[in-house]
Structure 1
Amino acid sequence: MSLLRAKIQDVFNEPGCEKNRGKDAKARKVGCSRPLTPGAAAGGCAFDGAKIVLQPITDVAHLVHGPLACEGNSWDNRGAASSGPTLWRTSFTTDLTELDVVMGQGERKLFKGIREIKEAYGPPAIFVYPTCVTALIGDDIEAVCQRAAEKFGLAVVPVNAPGFAGSKNLGNKLAGEALLDHVIGTAEPDDPGPYDINILGEFNLSGEFWLVKPLLDRLGIRVRACIPGDARYFDIACAHRARAAMVVCSTALINLARKMDERWGIPFFEGSFYGITDTSDALRNIAELLVKQGADPEILGRTEVLISEEEAIAWKKLAAYRPRLAGKRVLLNTGGVKSWSVVHALMEIGIEIVGTSVKKSTVEDKERIKQILKDDNHIFEQMAARELYAMLSEHKADILLSGGRTQFVALKAKTPWLDINQERQHPYAGYDGMVELVRQIDLAIQNPIWCQVREPAPWDCQPAVGEELPRTKSENVTLHAVQEFSGTTAADFGEC
């Protein structure tokens, strides 16, 4: 527990965070995460956050050491996609019961579970996640993992992030610490090159990174490790040989990027692949960082040629949607990097942003939003469901872009809704992803169902006593057909 406490304080003292640098020493130790309230939903615990960051490593076995419900509540909670191995889709848990806790069988059961996974699947590594129960009863996860690694000849990585340690965001950072302590730098690549980069905080949701990687391939840039989206254990182990890095989600893995820069001299920048301009800027920044690290400057010219070609294609595709979406009002109820990157992307095609949430955004994210919107009135820290419903029911927005938890608020307000969080079914990154995002927004807004659901229900239009109920167009057509039919005889039909 003392080791965990020291690790948490080290994560809170984050020099890479501009907000944290401005605090005094005492305030810095408290950290940025809000304390959890027992019995209240806090948007995920530290265990959940660690699992989110590490589970997309596809060829690794993820073993949860704790009661069965912990694994059941966290399995497959992201829409990450894999281009190969499927082991990460298999749930492994020690399934501790009350008897195991009372009899002190936790460590023995964990060792047995590691052995069974090794014999049945033979993965390159096993990640072990302690939970609240096993941390409280004092199971020595570090010792068990070390002994199992020596016994079975594979990497067994302890991810020391039990749920009670803090919020989901803290768990994200503790997962990065686990990679630094036990994975990155443990292997050497056969062919390091001057064009190798790391992408940090990219989860490959719905295969989004697969829309970006071909662009990098065309420039001759190799992604040494994408952490964690569609990652392989060996690639992450060799990530220390990359020449530059891009951080997509700084709230999750800024500590990983900073410490890799300190240990191995890998410079990084924070960017986004959402939107045409941001994608182009990200490609330019990657090329410039590589040149500073010794790559041939000719890559800068090739990057500009690629950007010019791809932007022309994207804008040509978007031209058809501009007149249909010009002046449409969008409300974003999301956070993090999407709080500013999606805003910028939508404004590029003439869509008006009536509001964006910054609940999970960093200070840098908020500053970017202010620079883009030029108005603080469109930024809200948190919007209650009642306020969100009032805004939508008063038709102050034409569509809501959010996660699945607020979709029913939009449906109750009879307003179009589009999922842009981890549960989404369509990739929105890169040039092609931007076209797909605009297409989905257009489909949602122009769907004829909204005209129908906004009409008053028949039982809300009852006539006064003695007044005839007005007929709809379809009822008039049916009545006319009945009247024509009533003037016929059996002879008109001939023989049956």
Structure 2
Amino acid sequence: MATKPHIRELLAESACEHNQPKKTACNAPIPGATTGGCAFEGAQIALFPFADAAHLVHGPITCLGASWETRATPTSWPARDLTQVGLTTDTCLNDVVFGGEEKLAVAIDQTITRYHPQALFVYATCVTALIGDDIDKACREAAARHGIPCVPVHAPGFVGSKNLGSRLGGEAILTHLIGTLEPEVTTPFDINLIGEYNVTGDMWQYSPLLEELGIRILSTLSGDGRIAAIRTAHRAKLNVIVCAKSLVSITRKMQDKYGIPWISLSFYGQRDTSAGLLAIADALGDPALIERTQALVAREEAKLGEQLAPYRELFAGKKAVLNTGGNKTWSIAAALQDLGIEVVATAVRKATEDDRAKAREYLGEHGVLMMDPGAEQAKLIDEKGAHILLAGGRSLYTAIKKGIAFIDVNQEKKISYGAYAGLLNLAEDLRHALESPVFSLAGRRAPWNR
């Protein structure tokens, strides 16, 4: 039985408040618009943090090479982290002519025999989807041979954006893994974290707070995740979407199928972290838990206020331009505002309608939402008198030309900015950047050219 998801249904998501009849969906594919990542890359982003699973890309080696190790998603898995092993069938011309299913079957057997994963994800790519290789059949037969879940992921790049690809990865998890195993024990405060990829250890900044409150993370999709845990996700009491609204389909369908309510929140910045913890406690509905959470929030905010006092004095009057994508367009903006920095512009070209609405809410009516940041950011730095640019590495040259400070906040960053402790990390990085003379010196002309 084929398990290909219906793209049209995913684009018309009833749980998205911006989805309306006769209106283009948030992640509808635009012909030729591949900048910013394809659906295949989005599916890998959503599933790759499962370190105890093997991830086999059925396609040309360039598909794996372009997407592998593009972000740091650390794991506490005690055995070998299989995301550090790049696996591909390396589809070539002969496979296009004669079909690649036999080659895929051999690759699956070799992968499972050698690495002994808890599950295997097989990703279709543009080439293998176009020639019609049946990855459903290959996975079904391999699961019967080896006795482990083998999950086909139907997210070839041509179907749409990275955002849609993440949603397709979630569909694969829901179809093939969730509900296939019972947990050994359950608690009244079991939650699933959906869309938390633990980039640079963000999840580890707030998971100890949840643990202190007695809230158990039953499973994650998929930061520091375990295959056995995600298979038991249907027994959670609450689904928590952490920033990544692209996975709203899976939470809506789990509510329909298993009766699990869901909320969406962010753990960036003081305000959102506190509001997130309180929202989880409120959704779980236990008065004692709510009281404990209020006490914890008060304690952490008081401690953080003392630690941030000298930083806020330094940042008074500073303005920032933010050029990143997705939920970071507003979540990092919120963190910057918590530090006393005015965010005068943020890029929303790669954001969903929900992200854009939140960006407008945080920046206010005078903040600029950049649809073409490559062309707009340099001009806005001059017009708004910005002191720092927070963006991906490619924008470093803009900061140097304008002689302002720069911080890389994209997926390549090396330190977490999540939750209370992460806000301190961000404050320290901002201090170093703003006080460093390198940005003003690097952009100067040589003396003989002045």
**Do Structure 1 and Structure 2 share a fold, with TM-score over 0.5?**
yes
Does the 8 Å CA contact 2:39/2:163 hold for their aligned counterparts?
yes
Amino acid at match of 1:277: R
| TM-superposition CA deviations, 1:171-200 (whole Å, max 9, x none) | 111111101100111111000111110111
Amino acid at match of 1:91: G
Amino acid at match of 2:376: E
Does the 8 Å CA contact 2:27/2:352 hold for their aligned counterparts?
no
Following the alignment from structure 2 to structure 1, what is the Cα–Cα distance between the partners of residues 274 and 354? Answer: 20
Amino acid at match of 1:8: I
Following the alignment from structure 1 to structure 2, what is the Cα–Cα distance between the partners of residues 109 and 265? Answer: 41
Following the alignment from structure 1 to structure 2, what is the Cα–Cα distance between the partners of residues 415 and 245? Answer: 41
Match of 1:321 among 305, 311, 334: 311
| TM-superposition CA deviations, 1:342-385 (whole Å, max 9, x none) | 2222222321111112223333333333333331x423241342
Following the alignment from structure 1 to structure 2, what is the Cα–Cα distance between the partners of residues 206 and 93? Answer: 25
**SS in structure 1 of the partner of residue 330 of structure 2:** helix
Does the 8 Å CA contact 1:199/1:248 hold for their aligned counterparts?
yes
Matching of residues 65-464 of structure 1 within 5 Å: 65-84=58-77, 85=79, 86-104=81-99, 106-291=100-285, 296-375=286-365, 377-392=366-381, 396-453=385-442, 455-461=444-450
Following the alignment from structure 2 to structure 1, what is the Cα–Cα distance between the partners of residues 6 and 31? Answer: 22
CA 1:163–1:451 in 2, change beyond 3 Å: closer, same or farther?
closer
Does the 8 Å CA contact 2:61/2:90 hold for their aligned counterparts?
yes
Does the 8 Å CA contact 1:358/1:381 hold for their aligned counterparts?
yes
Does the 8 Å CA contact 1:18/1:363 hold for their aligned counterparts?
no
- Structure 1 position 393, deviation (Å): 5.3
CA 1:415–1:153 in 2, change beyond 3 Å: closer, same or farther?
same
Matched with 1:494 is none
Instruction: Provide the identity percentage.
Output: 43
| TM-superposition CA deviations, 1:68-90 (whole Å, max 9, x none) | 11111111122211112411211
| TM-superposition CA deviations, 1:188-236 (whole Å, max 9, x none) | 1000111110111111111111111110111011101121111110111
- Structure 1 position 272, deviation (Å): 0.6
Give ranges in structure 1 of 5+ residues lacking alignment: 462-496
CA 1:351–1:310 in 2, change beyond 3 Å: closer, same or farther?
same
Moved more, 83-92 or 229-238: 83-92
CA 1:252–1:223 in 2, change beyond 3 Å: closer, same or farther?
same
Following the alignment from structure 2 to structure 1, what is the Cα–Cα distance between the partners of residues 440 and 94? Answer: 59
| TM-superposition CA deviations, 1:6-36 (whole Å, max 9, x none) | 610110120111111x324xx4xx5333534
Following the alignment from structure 1 to structure 2, what is the Cα–Cα distance between the partners of residues 88 and 451? Answer: 40
| TM-superposition CA deviations, 1:305-325 (whole Å, max 9, x none) | 111111111111101111111
Following the alignment from structure 1 to structure 2, what is the Cα–Cα distance between the partners of residues 388 and 266? Answer: 42
Following the alignment from structure 1 to structure 2, what is the Cα–Cα distance between the partners of residues 454 and 166? Answer: 39
Matched with 1:491 is none
Does the 8 Å CA contact 2:269/2:336 hold for their aligned counterparts?
yes
Matched with 2:36 is 43
Does the 8 Å CA contact 1:61/1:88 hold for their aligned counterparts?
yes
Matched with 1:57 is 50
Following the alignment from structure 1 to structure 2, what is the Cα–Cα distance between the partners of residues 42 and 184? Answer: 32
Following the alignment from structure 1 to structure 2, what is the Cα–Cα distance between the partners of residues 281 and 186? Answer: 33
Does the 8 Å CA contact 2:344/2:363 hold for their aligned counterparts?
no
Q: Which gives a bigger RCO, structure 1 or 2 (Cα 8 Å, sep 6+)?
A: 2
Please, what TM-score do these two structures have when normalized by structure 1? 0.86
CA 1:426–1:250 in 2, change beyond 3 Å: closer, same or farther?
closer
Following the alignment from structure 2 to structure 1, what is the Cα–Cα distance between the partners of residues 92 and 355? Answer: 44
Does the 8 Å CA contact 2:153/2:169 hold for their aligned counterparts?
yes
- Structure 1 position 263, deviation (Å): 1.1
Following the alignment from structure 1 to structure 2, what is the Cα–Cα distance between the partners of residues 178 and 338? Answer: 25
Does the 8 Å CA contact 1:393/1:414 hold for their aligned counterparts?
no
Following the alignment from structure 2 to structure 1, what is the Cα–Cα distance between the partners of residues 444 and 143? Answer: 65
| TM-superposition CA deviations, 1:216-264 (whole Å, max 9, x none) | 1110111011211111101111111110121113432111111111111
**Number of matched pairs:** 448
C-alpha root-mean-square deviation of aligned residues, in Å? 1.9
Give ranges in structure 2 of 5+ residues lacking alignment: none
Does the 8 Å CA contact 2:26/2:353 hold for their aligned counterparts?
no
Amino acid at match of 2:283: L
CA 1:455–1:168 in 2, change beyond 3 Å: closer, same or farther?
closer
Does the 8 Å CA contact 2:308/2:424 hold for their aligned counterparts?
yes
